[in-house]
Amino acid sequence: MESHDVVVVGAGPVGLTLAVELGQRGKSVLVLEKRKQLGKLPKMERCNARTMENFRRMGLAERIRRAGLDNDMPMDVFICDETLVREPLVHHHYPSVSELKEQYRETNDGSCPAEPYQLISQYTLEPLLVDALAELESVEVRFDAEVTSFIDDGASVTVRYRNSEGVESIVQAAYLVGCDGASSEVRRALGFELEGDSLLEMRQALFYSENLLDRIPIGSGRHYHVADDKSSFLIVQDDKKHFSLHATVASDEEMPELFEKILGFPVEYETLYVGSWRQRLMLSSGYSSGRVFIAGDAAHLVIPTGGLGMNTGHGDAVDLAWKLAAALEGWGGEGLLASYELERRPIGARNIAASRKATMGRRKWRGMWSPALTDRGPEGDKARAELAAVADQEQRWSNDLYGIELGYGYLDSPVISYGEDYAIDELGLDFKYTPRSLEGFRLPNVHLEDGTPLQDSLGHEYTILCTGTDAEAAQTLENAIAGIGAPVKTFHVASEDARKVYGEGYLLLRPDLHIAWRGTRMPEEPAPLAALVTGHLAVRGCAAHEHPDTLAALAGGQ
């Protein structure tokens, strides 16, 4: 029987990212995709800064930027007065990728990521990732392969799949991961339910026009919202020649007519697709069972508002990949894979809440629509001014999300050692990013003296990061982690900027660059800490009052 380390169900961006992460670690991966070929429909359209940081670590960031939107194009957002001809009611300027890169080079206080966001359509990203996987000998993507059933016997997972001609095949794997979307068969087979809200039903149309973007009178941008009674929203796709329109209209036939009306000037175009979709905010009741896991839309559904859908799933894939690799390599304890759901499900819930807040902000100004807005006299001027004043504030929840994208942390993980001074009970919905060099959080980015991000010096191993302190003292902890079989290294950063951001002492970083422990000195007994962060000592949340003896050893460096 054909055998692999991991079978991934679904060749969307999340499943392909998981396969890249595993393949770069040398793991045998089979990706099964029921489609005969990749599609051309616009779904996700933006990799946020955290996602691009991860793609940088995979060596794919520049390849993605070359394939995506022109890096010199501003990412502006407009709220339009009926058409793209009239002066916009609101114009929010957002810098281009090139401008952001320059800003980031000049800022070294931890507040800027290693990479800016990138606008790239899903139908561009998917084939790029498939091509990247073709360079990894241990990974195969198999199309026209619909999974029909699987059996987890506790030692492995046996997967059955068939092609469109009805030919069945069987494959065995150590682990199975369902990245098979909102209607996930893997999730259903596990008995998990999507819980949450189903909201507006909308129609989506995809249009092609060679020169439309250059002709828009109000200027180039990525999003054009229209203040009408149909929630109309025009998105520029990555090649600047495809445009997706979303609106609440009654029939497919109305979409081209609405497109022409919104433009307000004649242009040659072709309608490529019209269909319907429903806004949903939902979270799966579980993320894993035994040797089977789910990730991406199979685990959580968010409204595209805020662009958190694929990016949240990407974070799932990055978290799960290194833990699966650890289990396959034999050094990962049971607590490591168990931590996947405990870490990522709260982030899924938080991002759903953030998407809800962004959606409510947009609904607030859209709810102010009335026929008076179309009046070109004083009454209309007043109505438009009032809507614009509200939209100027409320629309920002959809676009200013650095705090959600970069500021997330794992607050109750069994494989993170929380110090006695740890005081964060919940993440909240802070949309502004505040760097935190605390347990559970993503390591804030600092540039080294040569201008490269510190992240570039960190690989797939655990890293003991030393700032302004004795690096040799870290040898005891390094030995304890290495003794378990986990890859580990010590890295000393001498820069003053790093000391200001990270504090003086030690940070133990996981392979995903989340902080697993911090201290001003090494623990006297490093073995319990090494056991905990590798999943061999599952102390849920590490509350001091619940586990005083263990905490005394783990937090000895505090």
Six-digit token string for 16:
């392909």
Tens-place pLDDT, residues 175-223 = 999 999 999 999 999 999 999 998 889 999 999 999 999 999 999 999 9
Distance CA 280, CA 356 (A): 10
Q: Are residues 453 and 505 both part of a single domain?
A: yes
Same domain, 141 and 217: no
Neighbours of 316 (CB within 10 A): 29
Indicate if the pLDDT at residue 545 is higher than 60.
no
CATH of the domain at 433: 3.40.30.120
Q: Average of pLDDT values for 331-351? A: 97
Q: Which of 345, 363, 379 is the last residue of a domain?
A: 345
CB 181 within 8 A of CB 187: no
Residue 60 domain-assigned? yes
Q: Is residue 438 part of a domain?
A: yes
DSSP annotation string for 238-288: TTSSEEEEEE--SSTTHHHHHHHHHH-S----EEEEEEEEEEEEEEES-SE
Distance of CA 495 to the CA centre of its chain: 30
Q: What confidence tens digit (pLDDT) does each residue in 79-134 have? A: 999 999 999 999 999 999 999 999 999 999 999 999 999 999 999 999 999 999 99
**Residue 441 contacts residue 409 (beta carbons within 8 Å):** yes
Residue 396: pLDDT over 90: yes
pLDDT of res. 394: 95
CATH number of the domain where residue 241 is located: 3.30.9.10
Q: Would 497 be classed as within a structural domain?
A: yes
Mean pLDDT to the nearest integer, 462-476: 92
Mean pLDDT of 33-41: 92
Q: Per the domain annotation, does 360 fall within a domain?
A: no
Q: Does a structural domain hold residue 221?
A: yes
Confidence category of residue 538, pLDDT binned at 50, 70, 90: low
Task: Answer yes or no: do 142 and 288 share one domain.
Answer: yes
Domain-embedded: residue 429 = yes
Chosen domain end from 233, 256, 279: 279
Q: Which of 345, 368, 385 is the last residue of a domain?
A: 345
Exposed/middle/buried for 259, CB within 10 Å: 0-12, 13-18, 19+?
A: buried
Average pLDDT, the chain: 93
Are 381 and 328 within 8 A, CB to CB?
no
Residue 558 has pLDDT above 50, yes or no: no
d(CA 535, CA 514) in angstroms, rounded, equals 15
**Between residues 306 and 281, which one has the greater pLDDT?**
281
Residue 227 half-sphere exposure toward CB, CA atoms < 13 A: 33
Q: Is the pLDDT of residue 443 over 70?
A: yes
What domain range is 49 assigned to? Answer: 2-68+115-195+281-345
Domain check: are 216 and 267 in the same one? yes
Of the candidates 33, 6, 9, 10, which has an alpha carbon nearest to the alpha carbon of residue 22?
6
CA distance 231 to 348: 26
- For residues 440 and 297, membership in a common domain is answered with no
In a domain, 151, yes or no: yes
Same domain, 242 and 158: no
Same domain for 252 and 148? no
Amino acid sitting at position 65: R
Domain harbouring 36, CATH code: 3.50.50.60
Same domain, 431 and 285: no
Give the DSSP per-residue string, 397-427.
GGT--HHHHH--B-SS-TTS---TT------
Q: What are the two backbone dihedrals, phi and then psi, of residue 186, each rounded to the nearest 5 degrees? A: -65, -45
Same domain assignment for residues 176 and 291 = yes
* Residue 548: band (very low, low, confident or very high) from pLDDT cuts 50, 70, 90: very low
Q: Is residue 537 located within the same domain as residue 453?
A: yes
pLDDT, mean of residues 267-278: 95
Given a cut of 80, whether residue 539 has pLDDT beyond it is no
Burial class (CB within 10 angstroms; exposed 0-12, middle 13-18, buried 19+) of 189? middle
- Claim to verify: residue 438 and residue 505 sit in the same structural domain: yes
Q: What's the total number of domains in the chain?
A: 3
Assigned domain for 76 exists: no
Q: Could you give the 3-state DSSP secondary structure of residue 122? A: helix
The reply to whether 56 and 44 lie within a common domain is yes
